[in-house]
């Protein structure tokens, strides 16, 4: 197997091109795909996409906030990304009086731009394959962690850069990535939430779509154009590269390329993992999130201040609530388990004949999943349920402080206590007392009803039901939740401050929320920690060998690694699709369709009055298509996932056509199984974006600083 593993990096470098629509390709290796890209219509070179020595498209792309993508669209640091990517930052700088989230915001000058505390953007400087360096050091018995740290420290150049080493192909390849990180980022413009989230949860993951999902920020730097902490003396960053904005529009089958930061895929998952996702993990996540969302929604609709406070958190929870519903449905529809089983049978047959050391990999996978599966649901109910309320998150930290005090580690306890204050400040941004209490009660109840009694902590019968009998009224959970929040020091600012300054075991021992969370944490450690660690370790080792074996089994196939939150390139074409018999979806939508969905006063489909007035006039000017209509969104067959939100749809000439913001329902299996027939990327058309900036926002200053291709 060692010789097989050493060949993986070379295999990644020298394999033949495959279909353009599937694949999240590593930018520094894009030269291996360039002929295929040009055959699809690309007019630039591989050096134009990724270069270390010259400005290239990679220099215009940023990792936005750690979970999205953005792109530079002017020589003065102007950045555009999705509205839902900037959502939390917009909410953070909004107030009930100045509600930029609800009403929109447009800076008409540099001075009006609003600092976005905590927001960072990362520019990729360089990628280097360090697989041989790592494996060579491992042969000399050096610890892997030490090797990686040495490489990272050398690349950081004394703090000038921020570097990381990411693994690819299940740990068979190591790549060193070097970044410049900017922390002075300011809000420049955003449409009202009713446009940026038009369609809400109903339209989420759906096509046709009409959402103006964009927001604008500016990156600031020191006077020597280097990353710097926020200062009034900072100036707009001068990027090495920015994207011209093309308002000529897209046509069916036009070349379309995306560069961005896809988060996680699991395309090499086994049939056992897919089975567990469909029948255990996904339904559990959906049930728990559904309950939390219903509670949040009830209070958000009653109070504007609550709505503003919970808006970002609600959107985040809802996004993947619907995602897991769709993923489960499509994995079943595509018979992915059966397809995986066929691949696994073929692999085992190949291994028995060609690589005996790998012949038992699939049977070992079967044992690994069989041992863990009975506990998978409990682990989800703990992380997505019991640990979901703000107060239990605080309690979890309190438990770690308690353990340190019990072990006589006073210095460690004091250090944790000092960080406790910052944690509380952060968590309380999403805290609404009645919402958190109701979620606390509901998750307590769901865990009790849905998890086998033998897996539960003894606190239910030993404490909760002794204080409040579990009778037919079912009120014990709500009563105990109320008792906990009324008697905890965690929510009392004075008592909390006193504790942080002088951590005290007596306070922790007598706190009902700390007792509650400690019961679940101790239960996890006693019954599930060892099993979960064994499962994760076994799965990681087996997956590494399995992926290496698959590549050895099919040496002529052009393999690409799973997404891992590093920059990737995907290329294809603008293309509609036919989701079912007698139904055909065009490749674009228009303002007419947007207005047809309008429902006055509706939570998801209302529209601002000034927008309606402008839209009904139909004065689209230079942003109209050949038929005089305003295109709102379009679809491509690019391969994306979460993290690609905000990624640019790039033309054959390297110009901005739109912003990726979603995937389609029919291909929700995409993180595990790519569907060549149905997979689509949903993008907001840049002409719709520009019309809003120009006509609705009146921000001619922003239009003027872009390089607009007409």
pLDDT tens profile 646-684: 999 999 999 999 999 999 999 999 999 999 899 999 999
Angle at which helix 361-381 crosses helix 336-354, to 10 degrees, equals 140
Report the distance separating Cα 207 and Cα 194, nearest Å.
Answer: 18
Domain extent for 563? 2-266+556-709
Annotated active-site residue 645? The verdict is yes
Is 478 among the domain residues? Answer: no
For residues 521 and 392, the answer to whether their CB atoms sit within 8 Å is no
pLDDT one-digit tens code per residue, 148-189: 999 999 999 999 999 999 999 999 999 999 999 999 999 999
User: Looking at the predicted structure, is the pLDDT value of residue 5 above 60?
Assistant: no
Length of the chain: 710
Burial 647-682 (b: 16+ CB within 10 A, else e): bbbbbbebbbbbbbbbbbbbbbbbbbbbbeebbbbb
pLDDT one-digit tens code per residue, 273-295: 999 999 999 999 999 999 999 99
Give the mean pLDDT of 424-442. Answer: 96
Give the mean pLDDT of 329-340. Answer: 96
Is 191 among the domain residues? Answer: yes
**Number of domains into which the chain is organized:** 1
pLDDT value at position 1?
Answer: 41
pLDDT one-digit tens code per residue, 183-217: 999 999 999 999 999 999 999 999 999 999 999 99
Is 155 among the domain residues? Answer: yes
For residues 25 and 31, the answer to whether their CB atoms sit within 8 Å is no
Is 256 among the domain residues? Answer: yes
pLDDT range class, residue 474, cuts 50, 70, 90: confident
Paired tokens of 190: 């955003």
Residue 89, φ and ψ in degrees, nearest 5: -70, -40
The residue that leads in pLDDT, 415 or 454, is 454
The DSSP symbol for 574 reads: B
pLDDT value at position 251?
Answer: 97
Is 404 among the domain residues? Answer: no
Report the distance separating Cα 356 and Cα 286, nearest Å.
Answer: 41
User: Looking at the predicted structure, is the pLDDT value of residue 13 above 70?
Assistant: no
pLDDT value at position 12?
Answer: 43
Is 95 among the domain residues? Answer: yes
Paired tokens of 642: 């979460």
What CATH number is associated with residue 227? 2.40.10.120
pLDDT value at position 299?
Answer: 97
Annotated active-site residue 84? The verdict is yes
- Give 582's contacts (C-beta < 8 A, 6+ positions apart): none
Is 441 among the domain residues? Answer: no
Residue that is written with structure tokens 């690609």 in the block: 644
Annotated active-site residue 213? The verdict is yes
Paired tokens of 641: 């996932």
Report the distance separating Cα 556 and Cα 621, nearest Å.
Answer: 51
pLDDT one-digit tens code per residue, 44-92: 999 999 999 999 999 999 999 999 999 999 999 999 999 999 999 999 9
pLDDT value at position 17?
Answer: 34
DSSP labels, 221-287: E-TTS------TT-EE---S--PPEE-S---TT-EEEEEE---B--TT--HHHHHHIIIIIHHHHHH
Is 451 among the domain residues? Answer: no
Q: How many CB atoms lie within 10 A of CB 575?
A: 19
Give the mean pLDDT of 232-246. Answer: 99
Report the distance separating Cα 681 and Cα 574, nearest Å.
Answer: 9
Angle at which helix 131-139 crosses helix 144-156, to 10 degrees, equals 140
Model pTM? 0.90
- Give 196's contacts (C-beta < 8 A, 6+ positions apart): 83, 84, 87, 190, 211, 212, 213, 214, 215
Paired tokens of 224: 């020597």
Q: Which of 84, 92, 201, 647 does the annotation list as catalytic?
A: 84
Q: Which of 184, 213, 562, 671 does the annotation list as catalytic?
A: 213
Q: Which of 51, 56, 312, 645 does the annotation list as catalytic?
A: 645
- Give 580's contacts (C-beta < 8 A, 6+ positions apart): none
């Amino acid at each position: 197997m060692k010789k097989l593993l050493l060949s993986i990096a070379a295999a990644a470098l020298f394999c033949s091109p495959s279909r353009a629509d599937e694949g999240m390709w590593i930018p520094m290796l894009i030269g291996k795909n360039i002929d295929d890209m040009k055959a699809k219509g690309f007019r630039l070179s591989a050096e134009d996409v990724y270069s270390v020595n010259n400005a290239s498209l990679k220099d215009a792309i940023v990792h936005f906030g750690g979970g999205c993508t953005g792109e530079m669209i002017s020589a003065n640091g102007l950045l555009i990304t999705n509205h839902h990517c900037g959502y939390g930052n917009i909410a953070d700088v909004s107030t009930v009086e100045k509600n930029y989230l609800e009403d929109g915001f447009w800076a008409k000058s540099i001075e009006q731009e609003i600092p976005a505390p905590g927001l960072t953007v990362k520019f990729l400087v360089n990628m280097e394959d360090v697989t041989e360096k790592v494996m060579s050091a491992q042969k000399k018995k050096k610890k892997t962690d030490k090797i990686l740290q040495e490489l990272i420290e050398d690349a950081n150049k004394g703090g000038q850069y921020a570097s990381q080493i990411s693994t690819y192909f299940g740990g068979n390849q190591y790549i060193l990535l070097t970044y410049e990180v900017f922390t002075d980022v300011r809000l420049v413009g955003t449409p009202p939430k009713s446009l940026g989230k038009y369609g809400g949860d109903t339209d989420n993951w759906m096509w046709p779509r009409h959402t103006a999902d964009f927001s604008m920020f500016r990156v600031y730097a020191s006077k020597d154009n280097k990353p710097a902490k926020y200062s009034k003396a900072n100036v707009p960053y001068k990027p090495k590269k920015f994207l011209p904005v093309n308002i000529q529009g897209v046509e069916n089958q036009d070349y379309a390329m995306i560069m961005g930061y896809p988060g996680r895929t699991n395309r090499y998952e086994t049939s056992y993992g897919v089975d567990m996702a469909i029948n255990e993990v996904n339904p559990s996540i959906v049930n728990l999130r559904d309950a939390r969302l219903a509670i949040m929604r009830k209070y958000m609709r009653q109070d504007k201040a609550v709505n503003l406070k919970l808006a970002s958190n609600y959107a985040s929870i809802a996004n993947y609530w619907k995602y897991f519903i769709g993923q489960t449905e499509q994995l079943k529809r595509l018979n992915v388990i059966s397809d995986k089983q066929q691949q696994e049978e073929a692999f085992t047959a190949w291994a028995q004949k060609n690589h005996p050391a790998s012949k038992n990999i699939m049977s070992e996978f079967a044992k690994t999943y069989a041992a863990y599966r009975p506990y998978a649901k409990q682990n989800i109910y703990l992380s997505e349920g019991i640990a979901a309320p703000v107060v239990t998150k605080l309690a979890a930290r309190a438990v770690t402080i308690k353990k340190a005090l019990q072990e006589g580690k006073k210095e460690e306890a004091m250090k944790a206590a000092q960080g406790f204050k910052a944690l509380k400040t952060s968590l309380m941004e999403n805290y609404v007392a009645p919402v958190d209490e109701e979620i606390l009660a509901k998750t307590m109840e769901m865990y009790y009803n849905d998890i086998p009694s033998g897996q539960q902590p003894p606190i239910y019968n030993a404490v909760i039901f002794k204080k409040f009998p579990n009778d037919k009224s079912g009120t014990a959970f709500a009563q105990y939740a109320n008792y906990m929040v009324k008697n905890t020091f965690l929510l009392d600012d004075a008592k909390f401050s006193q504790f942080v300054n002088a951590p005290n075991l007596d306070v922790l021992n007598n706190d009902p929320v700390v007792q509650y969370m400690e019961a679940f944490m101790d239960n996890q450690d006693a019954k599930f920690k060892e099993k979960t660690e064994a499962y994760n370790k076994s799965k990681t080792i087996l997956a590494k060998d399995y992926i290496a074996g698959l590549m050895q089994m099919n040496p002529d196939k052009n393999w690409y690694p799973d997404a891992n939150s590093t920059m990737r390139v995907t290329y294809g074409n603008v293309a509609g699709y036919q989701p079912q018999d007698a139904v055909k979806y065009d490749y674009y939508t228009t303002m007419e369709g947007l207005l047809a969905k309008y429902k006055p006063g509706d939570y998801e489909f209302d529209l601002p009055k000034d927008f309606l007035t402008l839209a009904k006039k139909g004065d689209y000017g230079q942003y109209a298509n050949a038929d005089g209509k305003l295109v709102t969104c379009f679809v491509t067959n690019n391969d994306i996932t979460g993290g690609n939100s905000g990624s640019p749809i790039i033309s054959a000439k390297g110009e901005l056509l739109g912003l990726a913001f979603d995937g389609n329902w029919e291909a929700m299996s995409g993180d595990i199984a790519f569907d060549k027939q149905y997979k689509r990327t949903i993008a907001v058309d840049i002409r719709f974006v520009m019309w809003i900036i120009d006509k609705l926002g009146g921000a001619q200053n922003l239009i003027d600083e872009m390089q607009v291709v007409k």
